[in-house]
């Protein structure tokens, strides 16, 4: 079996999603950025059936932060988003929460899976980063080799049943002359967060220090760049945690589900 650690970056990028998932299923663990280039990566939110309506309604009411790419119903462990795959094993690393507290970071869900669990597969802004780069807009966290910085904001998401929480945003510093282009390009990807929710003033979102993100890593902001904020797929995880369900499972930051859907399929004209 191949090993990610022995591969050149180009080889990782050229892997099929199915091949990448098989290596994760075999227990290899690494962040998914740069693997299977051109295929959509996704956030995970797994909750018991009794909470599933509230989570789906939360997504319906907060479509910019929670674009649903697919739902695996209770008892279902695969779908056309991960053909031949298994949601319990095919993500490199998971986070398990009990009563809102993280209790484990397993590489598969064998010890935690129950047949009443419902899986929400949520779009991720990684999908539009390739389109930004193709247009000559550099993506700082990729250039700097770190995870995208994410921040809890002072804005509340729309509540749904027991689920309520802050809007979480990801931030990319964009050269002032390219901010309009970044808006235009990302607005063509409404299924993966779409246009920015805020441009230029972190204080107004209640973000005091860009160097201290709540999730992911800090990035250096190049001279002349403006911080641009997009709604983030970690938002449903943050909200579900606030409601402290007996069990909830997400992906570990940066360790996403690699789907069989091409990024371009989420582009609108």
In terms of Cα–Cα distance, which of 40, 47, 98, 50 is closest to 71?
A: 47
- Residue 67 CB, nearest approach to its own copies (Å): 11
Residue number, 68 or 139, with CB nearest to its own copies: 68
The 76-95 contact track toward its own copies, x by CB under 8 A, reads: --------------------
- Determine, following the binding rule CB under 8 A, whether residue 116 of this chain makes contact with its own copies: no
Exposure string over 164-191, b if 16+ CB within 10 A, otherwise e? bbbbbbbbbbbbeebbeebeebbeebbb
Query: In the set 9, 19, 26, 73, which binds its own copies (CB under 8 A)?
Result: 73
Query: In the set 14, 29, 30, 71, which binds its own copies (CB under 8 A)?
Result: 71
C-alpha–C-alpha distance, residues 9 and 3, integer Å: 12
C-alpha–C-alpha distance, residues 77 and 112, integer Å: 13
Contact 153, 163 (CB under 8 A): no
- Determine, following the binding rule CB under 8 A, whether residue 160 of this chain makes contact with its own copies: yes
Residue number, 2 or 61, with CB nearest to its own copies: 61
Query: In the set 23, 33, 42, 52, which binds its own copies (CB under 8 A)?
Result: 52
Query: In the set 56, 91, 182, 195, which binds its own copies (CB under 8 A)?
Result: 56
How far does Cα 60 stand from its chain's mean position? 17
Strands 225-231 and 257-262: unpaired
Beta bridge partners of 47: 118
Query: In the set 25, 37, 49, 214, which binds its own copies (CB under 8 A)?
Result: 49
- Residue for token pair 């690699």: 258
Query: In the set 11, 16, 19, 60, which binds its own copies (CB under 8 A)?
Result: 60
Residue number, 56 or 231, with CB nearest to its own copies: 56
* Residue 27: CA count within 13 A, CB half-sphere: 2
Query: In the set 38, 84, 100, 161, which binds its own copies (CB under 8 A)?
Result: 161
- In angstroms, what CA-CA distances link 241 with 103, 163, 236, 244? 12, 9, 8, 5
Residue number, 49 or 77, with CB nearest to its own copies: 49
Positions touching its own copies (CB under 8 A) are 49, 52-53, 56-57, 59-61, 68, 71, 73, 118, 160-161
């Amino acid at each position: 079996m191949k090993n990610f650690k022995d591969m050149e970056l180009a080889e990782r990028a050229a892997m099929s999603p199915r091949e990448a998932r098989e290596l994760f299923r075999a227990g290899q663990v690494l962040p998914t950025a740069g693997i299977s280039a051109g295929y959509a990566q996704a956030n995970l939110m797994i909750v018991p059936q009794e909470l599933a309506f509230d989570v789906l309604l939360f997504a319906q009411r907060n479509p910019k932060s929670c674009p649903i790419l697919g739902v695996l119903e209770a008892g279902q462990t695969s779908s056309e988003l991960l053909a031949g795959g298994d949601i319990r094993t095919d993500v490199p690393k998971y986070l398990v929460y009990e009563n809102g507290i993280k209790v484990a970071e397993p590489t598969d869900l064998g010890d935690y899976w129950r047949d009443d669990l419902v899986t929400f597969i949520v779009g991720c802004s990684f999908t539009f980063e390739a389109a930004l780069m193709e247009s000559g807009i550099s993506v700082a966290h990729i250039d700097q080799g770190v995870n995208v910085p994410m921040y809890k904001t002072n804005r509340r998401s729309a509540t749904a049943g027991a689920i309520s929480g802050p809007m979480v945003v990801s931030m990319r510093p964009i050269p002032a002359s390219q901010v309009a282009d970044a808006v235009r390009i990302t607005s063509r990807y409404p299924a993966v967060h779409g246009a920015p929710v805020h441009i230029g003033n972190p204080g107004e979102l209640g973000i005091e220090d860009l160097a201290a993100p709540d999730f992911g890593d800090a990035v250096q902001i190049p001279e002349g760049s403006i911080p641009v904020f997009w709604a983030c797929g970690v938002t449903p995880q943050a909200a579900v945690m606030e409601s402290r369900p007996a069990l909830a499972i997400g992906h570990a930051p940066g360790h996403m589900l690699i789907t069989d859907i091409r990024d371009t399929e989420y582009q609108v004209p």
